[in-house]
Structure formats: C-alpha cells, structure tokens
Amino acid sequence: MNEEFYAVVKLVSGEELFAIVMPTIENDTEYLILSDPIVISKVSTNDGYYAYKVEPWLKLTTESIFILEKTRLITVVESFDQEMVFLYKRYLNSNISGTAGNYRLKRNEGYVNNVKDVRTQLEKIYQKQSS
C-alpha cells in the first residue's frame, strides 16, 4: 500500500492540490505524504483561449515534503491525466534547473537582441558619427 502515485488532493479547507502522494500509517493514524504539492489554475485569456497557471502550494518555504493527517482530507483521487502530469513535471524541472520565469524568446516571438549588445552597437555608431 506504500506506493507513490500522482493524485489530486482536496483538503477540508477547499484547496485542491496536485502532487506525488504516498499513504502511510503511523501509530494507528493515517497520513498522506505529499511531494512538491502544487496548485493548478485554469486561466482564460482575452482572445478566448485558456492556459494553466502552476504555483507551489506553500510559497514561503523551501520544503518539498509535507505530511497531512487523513482528517484534513476530503478526498484523494489518483490522476492519470497526462497533461496534468506533464505540467507537474515541467514545473518541477524548471524549479530544479532554476529556469522558472527565465524563458528566452525566439526571434519569431519578438526577440531582437539583448540590451548589452545593442548598447555596444549604438555606442560604436555614435562614436563614428562624432569623429
């Protein structure tokens, strides 16, 4: 019974989490161990599309493992939704590699050059015109 799996966890507080979970029993009390729990929100865009916003469950901690007593849970449902698993893994990878929020635009997405290089080029042009 102590196998971990992807799950959606609904807490009595109303929060809905996605995490790798593992049930356990300690001193006749049932617990759920959550690894890197996240909150996934569906966000609508102005042009009629939607995206998912992924955030850590607790934002002011560096802990990744949390233990919840069964009495704090409404339900736990194993998730086979590959899209949610993909979002979860991508979120974890971006936090491990430190690339969260550091996505580099490609040229066809609007990236032209970085500030340092453009400044150097403009200074060269200005210096030529001044001479």
Any idea which residue has 């992807």 for tokens?
Answer: 6
Give the pLDDT confidence score for residue 47 in this predicted structure: 84
Neighbours of 88 (CB within 10 A): 21
Any idea which residue has 């992924």 for tokens?
Answer: 54
CATH of range 5-104; options 3.90.320.10, 3.40.50.2300, 3.20.20.70, 2.30.30.100: 2.30.30.100
Any idea which residue has 């150097």 for tokens?
Answer: 120
What string of pLDDT tens digits covers the 131 residues of the chain? Answer: 568 999 999 999 999 999 999 999 999 999 999 999 999 888 888 888 888 888 999 988 888 999 999 999 999 999 999 888 988 998 888 876 554 455 555 665 556 677 788 788 888 887 877 76
Provide the residue ranges of all domains of the chain, joining segments of one domain with +: 5-104
Residues in the chain: 131
